[in-house]
A and B are shown apart, each in its own frame.
Chain A
Amino acid sequence: MWTDFSLETITNSFVFQRFDKLIVEPFFQTALMVGIATLIATVIGIPLGVFLATSKRGELLAMPITSRIVGAIVNALRAIPFIILAVYIFPITRWVVGSAIGTAAAIVPLTIAAIPFIARLVETHIREVDQGLVEAARAFGANPFQIIWKVLLPESLPGIVLVLTLAIISLIGFSAMVGAIGGGGLGDVALRWGYAQNKIDVMNVIVVLLIVVNQLVQMFGEYISRRINKRVIIRNTPKPDSLS
């Protein structure tokens, strides 16, 4: 059936006739859930990653005990499979959005899953910053906040952009599971219509759409990361003539 691509087959297909309900609306639900979850997780995850990278004994913000506790919480959150996390934190979700069911409610577990993910990966990129740069900044009288703001974050920014790209792609994957708690979205449609109702055309369109979206997100993330990475010379990039 799915090898028949005549115009009539397509226009008569279930997915085409209900394209708005099956594809467009779920697409925006997914985009909304992933977008907001990424945004909040970024705002919390990056500082958390910086903290994890600078708080061990002998480090910039040395708070070994707090660091261990935060690290343990982050590890614990990462250990829980997403679908279990989503139902496990129902009380928190209900407290935050007033309901445990629906698109808005789905944002809560997505955000909570993304925060430790972003934090751990940001940590590794911050740790990769040459210690010589930190020493130089200290030698010029930088305080720990200035070292983070003027050295660690700018120097690891290309890596952090790739972390966020990865977070978006992972969250698109996780969002397929929030159908279980009424979150909606493309994954939910694929499971309920494509799989349970055996509408193969619905499944095909959504799978292709997800592949394309992931590909675009990845390409865009890599492009931005390359543009802001000054460690390697990019040819054919004109340099501005004066310092703004």
Chain B
Amino acid sequence: MYSRSTAEKTVAQDQTAAPIVQLKDVRKVFASHDGGTHVALDGVNLSVNKGDVLGVIGRSGAGKSTLIRLLNGLEKPTSGSVIVNGDEISSFDEVSLRQARRSIGMIFQHFNLLSSRTVAQNIALPLELAGANRSDITKRVDELLDLVGLSDRKDRYPSELSGGQKQRVGIARALATNPEVLLSDEATSALDPETTRSILELLSNINRELGLTIVLITHEMAVVRSIANQVAVIEHGHIVEQGDVFDIFTRPAHDVTRSFLGHESGRALPPSVAAKLKATPGPKSEAVVRIIFRGPHATDPVLAQLATEADIAANIVSGSIDEVGGRPFGIITVSLPSDPKLLDKALTFLKVRHLDTEVLGYVD
């Protein structure tokens, strides 16, 4: 009953299938304590295909917690519809919701494990709730313990585990009923960087091996970058930008996205340069230009070519070359001559080589 058939796996890997999670024009309004109302989500449209990992990123209070709770009916939308696994979750009553929730797993920032139950008993909880028989439960729990690497801790209590181990128990519990979708509510926010990495790796493996669709909310771009292939940026209840992770990372269109990226991938200027930056050029100033290398061109020696072929010297101010979603990607900030003709020539030179450029300002 709880093993996934190979037929299902094939479907899971088929990216062209209908979206498994869909939000259509969702609006959620809460009554606030002072008698007024608070709009948590407004006109949200979102769709996630089977097998995708969608990272929803936003500041606290942006509406991301509400969004993820809509997906398993812990919250009901004020208007609009939420469709998961082909079920219109938003129109379900509590009884049908309970059934639907069994195919939607969830993991939490603070793990939410029962302190009175051992590791094995915690993992067994969703199976007990679903009314599985004892021998099925024992068998499934052992498989899950093996999957998350905690077989030797099965009879321990949560108080005896580290944060990373607790989240592994949380993941095993979430997978117990073989859900189609896994919701992750800031699952790594309470963990140190090293543990975060290992938990994300585990989630990544599960996504690949089981074809599980994952929707995660986070306030850390690093999390989105290491695990997601789709990203949605949420601000004040609106999705301001969404799409493929590589595109959003390399061509962010919205200020909020840029500010999240600021801490990632060398996008922020060194403070000494940032302090001297001016909007208009002076007589002796140089232009500070950000060059974004995407995909195949990321490894070309473009700056060397600029010097030899166009005779324009670029001084590197800061930069990094990295990979996002397995594709090379780099950001380099350089200073170029501020003379309009030379600057224009340099920018054109870069543009024909498919590099994105952005003049950030001028320094003397």
Interface residues of A (CB under 8 A from B): 130, 132-133, 135-143, 146, 150-151, 154-155, 157, 228, 230-233, 239-243
Contacts and interface: CB of A to CB of B under 8 A. Distances in A.
A230 B106 contact: no
A243 B108 CA distance: 26
A141 B159 contact: no
B31 to A, nearest CB: 11
B120 interface: yes
Contact of A243 (B101, B114, B128, B155): B155
Given A143-B94, A146-B129, 13 more contacts: A132-B110, A136-B108, A138-B74, A139-B106, A140-B125, A141-B126, A142-B129, A150-B125, A150-B128, A150-B129, A233-B159, A242-B155, A243-B155
Interface of B: 72, 74, 94, 97-99, 101-102, 104, 106, 108, 110, 112, 114-118, 120-121, 125-126, 128-130, 138, 154-160, 173, 177, 183
Contacts of A154: 114, 116-117
29 contacts: A133-B112, A136-B108, A138-B74, A139-B72, A140-B106, A140-B125, A140-B129, A140-B173, A140-B177, A141-B101, A141-B102, A142-B98, A142-B129, A150-B125, A151-B114, A154-B117, A155-B115, A157-B116, A230-B117, A230-B157, A230-B159, A231-B115, A231-B159, A233-B160, A239-B156, A240-B155, A242-B155, A243-B118, A243-B138
A130 B121 contact: no
By Cβ-Cβ distance, the 5 closest A-B pairs, closest first, are: A136-B112, A140-B126, A141-B101, A230-B157, A154-B116
Given A143-B98, A241-B155, A242-B155, A137 B116 contact: no
A132 B185 CA distance: 12
A202 to B, nearest CB: 46
B121 A243 contact: yes
Contact of A130 (B112, B126, B156): B112
Contacts of A146: 129
Contact of A132 (B112, B126, B130): B112
Contacts of A243: 118, 120-121, 138, 154-155
A232 to B, nearest CB: 6
A139 B101 contact: yes
Q: Chain B contact residues: over half helix, strand or loop, or mixed? A: mixed
Contacts of A138: 74, 101
A100 to B, nearest CB: 43
A132 B110 CA distance: 8
Contacts of B117: 154, 230
B159 A232 contact: yes
Contacts of B173: 140
Q: Which of B74, B116, B154, B158 has the most CB of A within 10 A?
A: B116
Contact of A230 (B99, B116, B120, B130): B116
Contacts of B118: 243
Given A130-B112, A132-B108, A135-B112, A140 B101 contact: yes
Contacts of B104: 139
Nearest to B94: A143
Nearest to A144: B94
Contacts of B154: 243
Nearest to B102: A141
Given A132-B112, A230-B116, A233-B160, A137 B121 contact: no
Nearest to A242: B155
A233 B183 CA distance: 30
A241 B218 CA distance: 38
A46 B136 CA distance: 33
Contacts of B106: 136, 139-140
A230 B159 CA distance: 7
Contacts of B158: 230
Given A141-B126, A230-B159, A133 B114 contact: yes
A194 B101 CA distance: 66
Contacts of B130: 141
A232 B157 CA distance: 9
A58 B164 CA distance: 33
B191 to A, nearest CB: 16
Given A136-B106, A141-B101, A141-B130, A155 B116 contact: yes
Contacts of B72: 139
B189 to A, nearest CB: 14
Contacts of B74: 135, 138-139
A155 B114 contact: yes
